[in-house]
Amino acid sequence: MAISILDMGKTKKRNVRESIISILSREYPLSIRKIYALVKKEYKLEVTYQAVFKLVKEMLSDGILENAESKMEYRLNMAWIRQLEDELSVIRKSYNAKGEDKAKETQDNIAKFISVIAPKIKEYIGSDSSAIIGVSGGGRYFGMALWKYLSREGKDSKYIDYDPLEEVNSVGIGIKKSDVQGKKVIVVDSAIYSGRTLQTVMKKINLYKKKLGIKEVKYAVDKDHAGLADFSRIEG
C-alpha cells in the first residue's frame, strides 16, 4: 500500500524528521515539547527531548519549518511545501513522459512487426483458415494487430486470448475446439528471452493438438533473443 506524506512517519524505516513532518502536516502550530510528546506517543521512537529540540532547530534553519506568531511554536514552511509541490510536478512529468515514450515504442514495434512479419504469416496460411492466439501481456497487442491485418486481407481468422500462467497446472486447455479445428494456429508473443513461455504454451497446445483438430501450430514474436520462434522480426 502506498504511504502518504501524512503517514510517512509510520513506515518501518521511519525517522524523527519524517515523524515531525507528519505531525505538523496534521496539527499546527506546536511547541517543541508538544512535538516531542507526539513523536514518542504516536511513533514510539526512542529519542530524547534534546534530540528533538536540536532537529526542530535544524529544520527551521533548512527552511522546512517556520516560527508561528508566538515564536515558541512551529509549523511547516509554506515556501518548502510549494517547493515540494514543484519537485513532485517535475517527477510526475518525467514519469508520464517515459510512459508515453514506452507506449509509442510499443506501437512502433507493432507496426514494424506487421510490416515485416504479417505478410510472411499470410503467405504461410495460404488458403487455410487461421486462429491467432495472443499470449497474455505484450503478446495480446501483437496478436490482435496480426488478426486485424489478416481480416483486412480477407483471411478467415479468429483471435483468442491465452494466459500461460493459468494453463500450467489446470486440467484441460482453455481453447475451444470450434475456434481452432482444422485451422493453422499462430501463437503470438512480444518477445522470447529464456524460451520458458514458449515451451509452456507449446507443450500444452501440442498435448491437445489432435483432440482440438488443429492443423498446424507456429510461434511468432517481434523479438526472439533465443532463436526459437518460427517467425520473428528481430533475432539475437
φ, ψ for residue 213, nearest 5 deg: 75, 25
| CB-based contacts of 52, cutoff 8 Å, min separation 6 | 16, 20, 32, 35, 36, 39
Size of the chain in residues: 236
Mean pLDDT on 131-160: 92
CATH architecture classification, 5-76: Orthogonal Bundle (1.10)
Same CATH topology for 5-76 and 111-235: the answer is no
Inform me whether the pLDDT recorded for 163 exceeds 90: no
Please state the domain extents for the chain.
5-76, 111-235
CA R_g for the chain: 30
Which residue is it, cell 515556501? 79
Going from the C-alpha of 47 to that of each of 25, 29, 204, the distances in angstroms are 20, 21, 60
Give residue 170's pLDDT.
73
Topology at the third CATH level for domain 111-235: Rossmann fold (3.40.50)
Checking if the pLDDT of 204 tops 80, the result is: yes
Alpha carbon distance 12, 52 (integer Å) = 19
Sheet of 231-235, strand order:
157-162, 130-135, 184-192, 216-224, 231-235
Name the phi and psi angles at 184, rounded to 5: -85, 125
Could you read off the pLDDT of 8-61 as tens digits, one per residue? Answer: 545 444 688 989 998 998 899 999 999 999 999 888 888 999 999 999 999 999
Report the sign of the C-alpha dihedral through residues 170, 174, 178, 180, in that order: negative
Q: Which range is least confidently modeled, 11-25, 122-136, 186-200?
A: 11-25
Determine how many CB atoms are found less than 10 A away from the CB of residue 93.
Answer: 10
First to last CA, the chain: 39
- Residue 210, C-alpha cell as written in the block: 489432435
d(CA 223, CA 81): 46
Dihedral of the alpha carbons of 86, 91, 7, 79, in degrees to the nearest 10: -10
